[in-house]
């Protein structure tokens, strides 16, 4: 397993320590704290019925944000349903992320500078699509990558394999991230496969595979940067397995992790909390204080308050809006149906 920081925030691998400025290191910490607060608030807002579908992210900050931090603005992200934080840090306005959760199409109308698809619900589909985006980037001669994420369970899908294999066959600039949080809802990773690592699945595609400590933001960043550099140099795709953990339930839709996880297991992983070790690392370098952290927490809470307000002010969706989004030019039957709903909506 590739690691740079241990649980105590000590550098155990100086050779691979990424070249990040003090400001960049602080920015990484800020993002992780912010995202932890976002997770806590999203869970609360979900319980209050002010958000809809929500897949908790606490525990995965290093895996999600360390990898996103290695990207350029013009790289293309194909996220899974748990990968909303990467989109936010790539520039998706928070209120739109909330609209995605609530089930409103405007949540998916991304600004042009956010080159990403909305979170993919069909596990594996983002992998075959990533091979296509990456091939497109290669054909256009762009120095960019397509990056995608799935979980440990997702590695059992056919599309997972087809995606990495296609990208390999075309030597396409793709980064495939497997966030192994040990559980696919209630099914432990041991029931997905007899393979000892998920990173070794790269061998089947003949591509590079790296297993990284997914609770170590510097290791995740360094691995993704390595994969990105290889990809834009024309050396093809990389599969990165991040060993991580979700502290919360699978989703807020009724999953109860106490049915399949022990308290001991949770405690053991909480010791590996990516925020704890990176905080220690930065404090050791005198780059982070309680004051810094509290400032981020307040900023996050305020942003979230404004964003949920903005999301709630979004005009309600009408059937005619949904019809208009179907085709460039509406076929006759949809024109007819639009007229029927226009009449209803004008009553």
Partner 1 sequence: MAQMTMIQAITDAMRVELKNDENVLVFGEDVGQNGGVFRATEGLQDEFGEDRVFDTPLAESGIGGLAIGLALEGFRPVPEIQFFGFVYEVMDSISGQMARLRYRSGGHYHAPITVRAPFGGGVHTPELHADSLEGLIAQQPGVKVVIPSTPYEAKGLLISAIRDNDPVVFLEHMKLYRSFRGEVPEDAYTVEIGKADVKREGSDVTLLAYGAMVHSSLKAAEELEKDGISAEVIDLRTVSPVDYETILASVKKTNRVVFVQEAQRQAGIAGQVISEIQERAILHLEAPILRVTAPDTVYAFSDAEEVWLPDHKDIVERVNEVIHF
Q: Which residues participate in catalysis according to the annotation? A: 246, 250, 260
Does 52 engage in binding with partner 1 (CB under 8 A)?
no
Give the nearest distance from C-beta 239 to partner 1 in angstroms.
16
Dihedral of alpha carbons 91, 94, 95, 97, sign? positive
Least separation in angstroms between CB 242 and partner 1: 23
241 close to 199: Cβ distance less than 8 angstroms? yes
Phi, psi of 8 (to 5 degrees): -95, 10
Confirm or reject binding of residue 127 to partner 1 (CB under 8 A). yes
If binding is defined by CB under 8 A, does position 130 make contact with partner 1? yes
| Residues numbered 71-110 forming contacts with partner 1, rule: CB under 8 A | 76, 105-106, 108-110
Nearer Cβ to partner 1 (53/260) = 53
Task: Pick between residue 162 and residue 292 the one whose CB is nearest to partner 1.
Answer: 162
Q: Which of 51, 84, 125, 175 binds partner 1 (CB under 8 A)?
A: 125
Determine if 117 is a binding residue for partner 1 (CB under 8 A).
yes
Residue whose structure tokens are 């979170």: 119
Q: Residues in contact with partner 1, total (CB under 8 A)?
A: 41
Q: Is the distance from CB of 37 to CB of 275 less than 8 angstroms? A: no
The CB-of-91 to partner 1 minimum distance in angstroms stands at: 14
> Per-residue contact track with partner 1, 136 to 165, x per CB under 8 A?
xx-xx-----x-----------xx--xx-x
Please say which residue, 129 or 181, places its beta carbon nearer to partner 1. Answer: 129
DSSP helix/strand/coil, 55 = coil
> Residue 87 or 217: which CB sits closer to partner 1?
87
What are the φ/ψ torsions at residue 220 (nearest 5 degrees)? Answer: -65, -45
Residue 216 beta carbon to partner 1: minimum distance, rounded to whole angstroms: 30
The yes or no reply on residue 14 touching partner 1 (CB under 8 A) is no
Cα torsion through 78, 81, 84, 90, rounded to 10: 0
Among 185, 195, 322, 340, binds partner 1 (CB under 8 A): 322
DSSP structural state of residue 20: -
CA distances in angstroms from 197 to 152, 182, 200, 209, 224, listed in the order given: 10, 11, 6, 10, 18
Alpha helix (H) residue ranges in the chain: 22-47, 61-69, 84-89, 94-102, 125-140, 158-169, 217-232, 263-270, 274-284, 290-313, 319-324, 332-345
- What are the angstrom distances between the C-alpha of 136 and each of 142, 145, 281? 9, 10, 40
8, 24, 122, 289: which one contacts partner 1 (CB under 8 A)? 122
- Contact set with partner 1 (CB under 8 A): 76, 105-106, 108-110, 117-118, 122, 125, 127-137, 139-140, 146, 158-159, 162-163, 165-166, 169, 322, 324-328, 331-334
């Amino acid at each position: 397993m590739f690691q740079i920081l241990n649980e105590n925030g000590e550098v155990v691998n100086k050779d691979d320590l990424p070249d990040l400025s003090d400001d960049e290191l602080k920015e990484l910490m800020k993002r992780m704290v912010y995202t932890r607060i976002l997770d806590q608030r999203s869970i609360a807002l979900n319980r209050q019925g002010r958000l809809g579908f929500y897949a908790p992210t606490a525990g995965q900050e290093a895996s999600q944000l360390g990898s996103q931090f290695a990207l350029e603005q013009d790289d293309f992200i194909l996220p899974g349903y748990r990968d909303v934080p990467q989109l936010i840090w790539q520039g998706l306005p928070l209120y739109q992320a909330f609209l995605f959760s609530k089930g409103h199409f405007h949540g998916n109308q991304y600004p042009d500078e956010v080159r990403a698809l909305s979170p993919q619900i069909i596990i594996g589909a983002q992998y075959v699509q990533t091979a296509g985006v990456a091939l497109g980037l290669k054909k256009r001669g762009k120095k960019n990558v397509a990056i995608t994420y799935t979980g440990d369970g997702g590695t059992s899908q056919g599309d997972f394999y087809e995606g990495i294999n296609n990208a390999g066959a075309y030597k396409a600039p793709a980064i495939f991230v497997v966030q192994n949080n040990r559980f696919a809802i209630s099914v432990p990773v041991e029931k997905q496969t007899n393979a000892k690592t998920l990173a070794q699945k790269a061998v089947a595609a003949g591509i590079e595979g790296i297993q990284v400590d997914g609770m170590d933001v510097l290791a995740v960043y360094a691995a993704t940067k390595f994969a990105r550099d290889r990809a834009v140099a024309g050396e093809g795709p990389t599969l990165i397995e991040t060993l991580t953990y979700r502290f919360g339930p699978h989703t807020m839709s009724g999953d109860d992790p106490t049915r399949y996880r022990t308290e001991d297991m949770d405690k053991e992983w909480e010791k590996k909390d990516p925020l704890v070790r990176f905080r220690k690392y930065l404090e050791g370098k005198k780059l982070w204080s309680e004051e810094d952290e509290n400032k981020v927490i307040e900023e996050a809470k305020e942003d979230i308050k404004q964003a949920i307000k903005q999301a709630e002010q979004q005009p309600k969706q009408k059937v005619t809006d949904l019809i208009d989004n179907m085709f460039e030019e509406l076929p006759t039957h949809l024109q007819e149906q639009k007229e029927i709903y226009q009449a209803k909506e004008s009553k």
